[in-house]
Amino acid sequence: MLNSEIVITGIGVVSPIGIGREEFAQSLSHRKSGVGPIGLFDSSGLPVHSAAEVRDFDPRQFIPNRKSVKVMARDSQMGVAASILAYKDARLDSAGVDPERIAVVLGADRICGALEDSKPTYEACLVDGQFHFDRWAPLGMPATFPLVFLKVLPNMIASHISIAIDARGPNNTIHHGDLSALLAIIEGASLLERGLADVVLVGGASSQMNPFDWARFVSLGRFSRAVDNGRASPRPFDKHRDGEVRGESAAVLVLERVNHAKARGATIWGTIRGWGRCYAPLDGDLNSFPSLSRAISLALQDAAIESKDVAQVNAHGLGTEEDDIRESHGIRRVLSDVPVTAPKSYFGNTGAAGGAVELAASLVLGKDRLVPPTLHYDEADPRCPINVVRGAPQPLASPFLVAVNWTLAGQAAALVVEVA
């Protein structure tokens, strides 16, 4: 159990269903999908043409220095924007917090280089339309933008955030796939518990809208093939689900110890009560998920609550056939018929940002004592024996929710949050 109460005092979101907390919450309330035709690159050569993109995002609205924007990948641009939104939402810009006591812990994916950054290097090696490897060192490399490597380092997102808000405390990056944001939240809370900071910005940022990434994703065969502009995919836990929808987002939460937050009159969105982390390799048994069940059990134990106290499970909900079966059994083993929501149904799988943007969804509706419904859940799958919330938002029966994320390697994490 935590030695001191850790509270959430700010929420910043850059997502396919809205930029900023209020627009994000409104889209959830109106059950708006963020999935649509791919617009950030030409997808005509791919079998999949739908994604969850952040549309109408202009980084210059948040990062006025054009030189700074130039050395940021899209992941970093969105991460900085979300952090500034969270910082302002928590009213930290006028709180007078010592910069040495402000920390940043962020989840990040592998950042893929932009095609336009590779173009000068590639063209310098061409002779009459043929690529010559012997030109790479003497001509190709000198043609490369000298700071391009800094754009693709995963830890640069947290670095740019610390510069943007003048956070001089601990700075860390969690690079652990779909588990990254949830682990970043846990690590940020741990920093506060150990007295290493007074304020920690936590969350994740990831843009998976790059042709290089999509060539890899498509080869894995996990994508939904629905061409529906978001009207029917993804479909977590639904009987007719056919795969993932990928996308991009950034979500940053502000964490503080409760006494610090109350002393400055901050708005409290929720309290972190406990967490669990576990690993066990996945096997062929789809009717069990040992590491997920264990992580949930550890989180409940850490929070000193029982399964009957939980009113909502914030599921990983990929929308793939076997993964949803496995996850549903892992949840049910510990939490039985607790209502389950799958936020990815709104904005797809956003990788390292997922855990934070999914938790933000439950927090913004939780303030009104509501559980967000799962989109596109029309017919229950008897192989997924869980109580999926569908249709309209459902009343939150108690303030406790459990957020879970996991990876295909078998790592899992669960976080217990008490909604304010």
User: Residue with structure tokens 């159990």?
Assistant: 1
* 94 and 200 belong to one structural domain: yes
* 157 and 105 belong to one structural domain: yes
On whether residue 207 sits in a domain, the answer given is yes
Give alpha helix (H) positions in 166-265.
180-193, 211-220, 258-263
Q: In this predicted model, what pLDDT tens digit does every residue of 319-367 receive, in sequence order?
A: 999 999 999 999 999 999 999 999 999 999 999 999 999 999 999 999 9
* 11 and 121 belong to one structural domain: no
On whether residue 58 sits in a domain, the answer given is yes
Phi, psi of 25 (to 5 degrees): -65, -40
**Does 257 score more than 90 pLDDT?**
yes
The whole-number pLDDT of residue 217 equals 80
> Torsion angle of alpha carbons 409, 342, 56, 83, nearest 10°?
-70
The whole-number pLDDT of residue 227 equals 61
* 214 and 288 belong to one structural domain: no
On whether residue 268 sits in a domain, the answer given is no
* 128 and 168 belong to one structural domain: no
Contact of 290 with 267, CB cutoff 8 Å? no
Query: How many Cβ atoms are within 10 Å of 134's Cβ, its own excluded?
Result: 9
Q: In this predicted model, what pLDDT tens digit does every residue of 183-221 receive, in sequence order?
A: 999 999 999 999 999 999 999 999 989 887 788 788 888
**Does 3 score more than 80 pLDDT?**
no
How much of the chain exceeds pLDDT 90, in percent?
79
The region of weakest confidence among 26-30, 212-216, 239-243 is 212-216
Contacts of 279 (CB under 8 A, 6+ apart): 291, 409, 410, 411, 412
* 103 and 126 belong to one structural domain: no
For residue 199, give the H/E element and its range: strand 199-207
The whole-number pLDDT of residue 146 equals 79
* DSSP string for residues in 261-303: HHHTT----EEEEEEEEEE----S-TT--HHHHHHHHHHHHHH
On whether residue 202 sits in a domain, the answer given is yes
* 313 and 243 belong to one structural domain: no
CATH at residue 69: 3.40.47.10
On whether residue 314 sits in a domain, the answer given is yes
Q: Which of residues 106, 125, 148 is at a domain's end?
A: 148
Q: What is the pTM of this model?
A: 0.94
What does R_g of the chain's alpha carbons equal in angstroms? 21
The whole-number pLDDT of residue 44 equals 87
**Residue-range definition of the domain harbouring residue 236:** 6-115+149-263
* 72 and 157 belong to one structural domain: yes
What is the C-alpha separation between 236 and 65, in angstroms, rounded?
41
Provide the token pair at 415.
């976080």
* 225 and 137 belong to one structural domain: no
The whole-number pLDDT of residue 2 equals 66
**Does 232 score more than 90 pLDDT?**
no
What is the C-alpha separation between 347 and 341, in angstroms, rounded?
13
On whether residue 303 sits in a domain, the answer given is yes
Confidence of residue 254 (pLDDT cuts 50, 70, 90): very high
Q: In this predicted model, what pLDDT tens digit does every residue of 376-392 receive, in sequence order?
A: 999 999 999 999 999 99
57 SS3 class: coil
On whether residue 1 sits in a domain, the answer given is no
* 184 and 87 belong to one structural domain: yes
Cα dist from 124 to 116, 121, 135, 328, whole Å: 14, 5, 7, 52
The region of weakest confidence among 72-81, 145-154, 302-311 is 145-154
The whole-number pLDDT of residue 231 equals 66
User: Residue with structure tokens 């389950």?
Assistant: 340
On whether residue 90 sits in a domain, the answer given is yes
Contact of 158 with 184, CB cutoff 8 Å? no
What is the C-alpha separation between 249 and 353, in angstroms, rounded?
6
* 76 and 24 belong to one structural domain: yes
The total number of structural domains that make up the chain:
3
Q: In this predicted model, what pLDDT tens digit does every residue of 115-137 receive, in sequence order?
A: 778 888 889 999 999 999 999 99
Provide the token pair at 50.
């739908």
Q: Which of residues 148, 163, 192 is at a domain's end?
A: 148
What is the C-alpha separation between 334 and 385, in angstroms, rounded?
12
* 362 and 245 belong to one structural domain: no
The whole-number pLDDT of residue 186 equals 98
**What is the overall mean pLDDT for the chain?**
93
The whole-number pLDDT of residue 30 equals 94
**Does 91 score more than 60 pLDDT?**
yes
The whole-number pLDDT of residue 356 equals 98
Phi-psi region of 18 (alpha: psi -120 to 50; beta: other; left: phi over 0): left
Number of helices (H) and strands (E) in the chain: give both, helices first. Answer: 13, 18
The whole-number pLDDT of residue 68 equals 87
The whole-number pLDDT of residue 223 equals 87
**Does 228 score more than 80 pLDDT?**
no
The region of weakest confidence among 140-149, 204-213, 248-257, 393-402 is 140-149
The whole-number pLDDT of residue 211 equals 83
**Does 230 score more than 60 pLDDT?**
no
Q: Which of residues 127, 148, 169 is at a domain's end?
A: 148
